[in-house]
Amino acid sequence: MALSDFDLEQLADQIVAKLNQSNGVPTIAAITMHIGELGFPAEEEEILGRMVIAKTANPTLRPNHIVMLVHGIRTNAEWQGIAVKELSPYCKRVVPIRYGFFDLISFWFPMTFLFRWVPVGKVSDELRALIANNPTAHVSVVAHSFGTYIISKVLKKHFDIRLFRLLLCGAIIPTNFDWLRLPNKPRGGLLNDIGLSDRLPVMAEISTWGYGPSGTYGFGTGEIHDNFHECGHSGFFTTEHLKSYWIPFLFGGKIVVSPANETRKQPAYGWEILRLIRPKYTFPAIAGGIWYFASPISGFLRSLF
């Protein structure tokens, strides 16, 4: 019978108390010995071990694992503070990356070389430097919203940048992104957190170019795990969610399947109709047609031919 998070937490506190009673700084060997005496399965031993390490006062015991956080648009990324607090005890370092306040016009404008490539370049430089300065560390990334678009472009353009694990939430990457043939696909696993009430990825897809609704419908491929949740675009940033889903994946490679995966319903048909109509194509075509047939200037131009 699997132990609950509460039971594991209680056991971790008991082990830490025993370690504190002994002389000297707690070591991995001492922690392993105390956990081994309990006779739990390997998976629960690993989770318990990470809990104990997180509770000890010895940061040198933390795994050589660095997590980078990449935010979305129109935000100062307040969620990164919560993530730093909750993830830091389990790894060597958590690095929140800021590329400046990215406004809606810059997000929407389809000429990527004018706006979008600036944050892509910033994040790729930060990642390359982080990996170079920590050659033996596992480097993973948590990306939200436009940050997921940035990471997809970084991985697709820079094959030398290799991640350990990648966690996406509120993703706006096209659903046909070819994870299978990506040479530098994160070797430790990929997780896509999806909010069932999140329609922003669909709005991004139908209103401009380069984005997709992977944060609404998922990728639908065996290369990345789609995990559905009862929340909206930014509903992932709670202590409970991080402890229940992010920490097991990032530091244990474990996918905790949300109950919403079994209870989710078909999205509203209105959004499907909008995806079919594709306003980014139809509205300019209609406007162009009206101008062509109604504008005096266009009438003059037609008379020349």
Strand order in 65-70's β-sheet?
Answer: 93-97, 65-70, 138-144, 166-169, 190-195, 225-229
The residue-averaged pLDDT of 126-144 equals 95
Kindly report each contact of residues 197-203 with a partner whose C-beta sits within 8 Å and lies 24 or more positions away, as own/partner. 197/230, 197/231, 197/232, 197/235, 198/170, 198/231, 198/232, 198/233, 198/235, 199/271, 200/145, 200/170, 200/172, 200/233, 201/170, 201/171, 201/172, 202/271, 202/274, 202/275
> 36 vs 30, 32, 44, 89, 291, CA distance in Å?
10, 6, 11, 22, 77
> 226 vs 74, 120, 205, 246, 296, CA distance in Å?
25, 24, 19, 13, 53
Count CB-CB contacts under 10 A for residue 195.
Answer: 22
Q: pLDDT value at position 157? A: 94
289 pLDDT exceeds 60?
no
Q: pLDDT value at position 227? A: 98
Q: pLDDT value at position 122? A: 92
Q: Which of 57, 65, 117, 122 is nearest to 94 (CA)?
A: 65
d(CA 242, CA 51): 14
Q: pLDDT value at position 161? A: 96
pTM to 2 decimal places: 0.74
* Token pair belonging to 253: 């490679």
Q: pLDDT value at position 242? A: 95
Its CATH class, for the domain covering 62-263, is alpha beta
100 pLDDT exceeds 90?
no
Contact 126, 172 (CB under 8 A): no
The residue-averaged pLDDT of 202-220 equals 90
1 pLDDT exceeds 60?
no
Q: pLDDT value at position 250? A: 92
Q: Does residue 227 or residue 51 have the better pLDDT?
A: 227
Rounded mean pLDDT of the chain? 81
Q: 290-303: per-residue pLDDT in tens?
A: 444 555 555 554 45
d(CA 136, CA 117): 29
The residue-averaged pLDDT of 87-107 equals 80
Residue 251's pLDDT band, with cuts at 50, 70 and 90, is confident
Q: pLDDT value at position 286? A: 47
Q: How far is CA 176 from the centre of its chain?
A: 17
206 pLDDT exceeds 90?
no
132 pLDDT exceeds 60?
yes
d(CA 94, CA 80): 9
Residue 98's pLDDT band, with cuts at 50, 70 and 90, is confident
Q: 185-195: per-residue pLDDT in tens?
A: 999 999 999 99
Q: pLDDT value at position 19? A: 72
97: left (phi over 0), alpha (psi -120 to 50) or beta: beta
The residue-averaged pLDDT of 132-142 equals 95
Dihedral angle, C-alpha 189, 211, 116, 227, nearest 10 °: -30
6-15, 167-176, 222-231, 281-290: which has the minimum mean pLDDT?
281-290
> Would you give the end-to-end CA distance of the chain in angstroms?
81
